[in-house]
Structure 1
Amino acid sequence: MNAGVERAHGGALVVGVDGSEPSLRAVDWAADEAVLHGVPLRVVYACLWERYEGAVLARDIGRATELPLAQDVVGTAAERARGRHPGLQVSAEVVFEEPEYALVREARHASALVVGTRGRSGIAETLLGSVSLAVAAHADCPVIVLRGSHDNRATPPVHGRVVVGVGENPKESAAVRYAAEESRRRGVPLEAVRAWRCPAHETTDHPLLAGEPARLHEARAVEELDAALQDLPAGVDVQRRTVEGHARRVLADASHSADLLVVGARRREGHLGLQLGRVAHAVLHHSACPVAIVPHQGHDA
């Protein structure tokens, strides 16, 4: 398992808020998830501009104003979580820092981190916000980015299935283990999907050989899928599926009938750019359900 995931095991579940409607729906989902895993919920509001603009406003009107504004945001979110699950342990904190940096740091000690699709910008809600993208690309723990019309409830299940995308390397199984645990806790089947493609240069028009390259690629995909699933714990209801096509399209299609879509993301030490990969990046933008990005150590493909 990725070292970051192991280090975070057992920590609080963190949800990033900013006072927007998408972030309040994220609080609902995160509260459900925290109860599901039996961990505390930590609400974090990170905002750099309020530290400075609030200070200017305070000087102009003669009183401190930035903390009440910020505390209103986290206070409302925390009360919303407590109202949804009265027995849930909830803490809240305001951090005067750029949200992406603050949340990535929070992820070092979290069991998982939940963020909304976007914040208070004027960008359409169907697009992924820059903070969500940055956190998903750099966090050490699983990051759940909420998408879809049912993204404010982790339980009870809407579609009754968790989908995980399986890559070419069966050793990169952190995402599979995470997805199996999520499906077990929800009491729903796990659908493991392996997309495959036959390169155009391998096709042939000869009637005796037609389809042979495709069958070989599909058979290899079946083997890779079986290898990735061989160490799953007993009791997980697994449904295997191989599909011809681009992985990003196959998984986006599968998200329409899923409660949660899980994909892996490689992390390379010392690399400062986005560490998502093409498939994870695409499904974050196009999934019809919440997406969990699970990090693992590896090399770029």
Structure 2
Amino acid sequence: MTPAGPLQTIEKTEAPREQPDTEDLPAQRADSEAREGNPVPEVDVAAMFDDIAPVYDRLNTLMTFGLDGRWRRHAVRAAALSSGASAIDVACGTGKLAADLAERVGPFGRILAVDLSQRMIERARSTYGDLIQLEFSVANALSLPAARGEFDAATIAFGLRNLADFEAGFRELRRVVRPGGKVVCLELSVPKPKLWGRTYHAVFRRMAPVAGSIFHRGPAYRYLPESLEGFPDAELLAGTMRRAGLEAVSYRRLALGAVALHVGEVPVTG
């Protein structure tokens, strides 16, 4: 893995877009065909993640070659939290990123970890429930149990692909973060150049089902590569964040572009 490059600030003016070769790179579709949300019903998504909750951490480590911890550390730094600050981690899964955030803010801070999957929350609570600054809630990312401007930052890691509406998800994250606070999104992306993109998708398509079969969770892990089909690339996702009302949107490609870290700020009004 090569070192990640510097954050790239996305200009508000629209730059000419490269026309993708949809035949060579299936997951990189034309702009008009990029998905705006996950077509799989939320109840089915929750059921799938309930099913894989017991083995999720082992599968995740296997599929990311152990790099997921490094990527989470990038997300924690991007949230720019200080001691005593607060944040909400959406689609928290088994709670690893939420725990990292809790460590950053210390015992006088506050982290709320939410997930649509009851079993994911149960595992997160059983592992990290001793952290007094960490709270847990089963909740929909499009309707968070929080007041407007309640948190200093919001994070979502590898969960945006599962939302029914990506822009609405960012709007809800923006709603619960104070003016000037950060919204951080860590998500799988479409690698460039095309040769690496083709290799990445070939490996990912085969590895996810194989990993799922090892732990007897085949259907859920067949869903994962399918959820990347038509998902917006890093540049398009930055545009989605801007449409959701976030400012100073920037992104950083990690793992040769297989993962992207996006950061936006909630506007300071008045």
TM range (shorter): 0.3 to 0.5
TM-score (normalised: structure 2)? 0.35
Q: Which one has more relative contact order, counting CA pairs under 8 Å at least 6 apart?
A: 2
> TM-score normalised to the size of structure 1?
0.32
